[in-house]
Amino acid sequence: MDGEIEMVRKNFINTITIIVMISLFGCKSYSPTAESIVGTWVAKDGAILQLNEDGTFETKNLSGNVIFEYDEEYKGLFFNETGTWRLGKDQGEWVVFLRFNISARLTGGFATQISVGGRKGFFENKPPWFLFLWIGEEGENRYEFTKKETTALKD
C-alpha cells in the first residue's frame, strides 16, 4: 500500500513539474521590435507594404477589398499610398498602426492596424514575423504579408 501511495505521489510531482516547465519555458512570448518590422512586406496577390526606418510607409497595389473591407466605395480599387506607421499593442496583441496620408483617393486620410504574428511557437509568438489582416470575422481567413530581404520599394 505504501508503495502505491509513493508511486502516485511521484507521478503527481512529475506532472506538476512538467506543467511548471511548460508554463515557464514552452510558452515564452517574444516581442517584435521596430527594427524587425522595417522592410518590404509582400502579399500573395502582389501587394507591397514598405515600412521605413523613419516611421513612414508606402503601399503599392494594395487592394481596397482587403484594407477597406467594409467601405463599398473602395471595392475593386488598388492603392499606392503613403503615410506613417508605428509598432504597438492593441488589446495585448502586437500590431502595426498605419496612418495613411490624405491623397486624391483618400480625401480624409485613413487609419488602421495590421496584426503581427510569428511563424513559430504554439501561439504564433516567435519569429520569423508576418503581418496580417483578418478577412471576414477574426479567426477565419488571413490576408498575409511576408517579409522580403530587400528594403526598398521598387517600381
- pLDDT tens for each residue of 10-67: 666 666 555 544 444 445 568 999 999 999 999 999 999 999 999 999 999 999 999 8
- Residue 7 — very low, low, confident or very high, per pLDDT cuts 50/70/90? low
- pLDDT given for residue 20 in this prediction: 46
Backbone angles phi and psi of 33, in degrees to 5: -110, 160
- Residue 68 — very low, low, confident or very high, per pLDDT cuts 50/70/90? confident
- pLDDT given for residue 24 in this prediction: 45
Beta strands in 1-148 (DSSP E): 39-43, 48-51, 56-60, 62-63, 78-79, 82-90, 93-100, 110-120, 126-135, 141-148
Please compute the mean of the pLDDT values over residues 110-134 and round it to a whole number: 90
- Whether 128 and 118 have beta carbons less than 8 Å apart is answered as yes
- pLDDT given for residue 9 in this prediction: 67
- Whether 145 and 132 have beta carbons less than 8 Å apart is answered as yes
- pLDDT given for residue 23 in this prediction: 47
Please compute the mean of the pLDDT values over residues 124-150 and round it to a whole number: 87
Closest CA to 40 of 131, 132, 130, 153: 153
Distance CA 72, CA 52 (A): 30
Distance CA 133, CA 49 (A): 13
Considering only residues 149 and 61, tell me which one the structure prediction assigns the higher pLDDT. Answer: 61
Considering only residues 1 and 76, tell me which one the structure prediction assigns the higher pLDDT. Answer: 76
Place of cell 504579408: 145
- pLDDT given for residue 151 in this prediction: 46
Instruction: Give burial (CB, 10 Å; 0-12/13-18/19+) of 34.
Output: middle
Distance CA 37, CA 112 (A): 16
Encode pLDDT of 76-102 as tens digits.
999 999 999 999 999 999 999 999 999
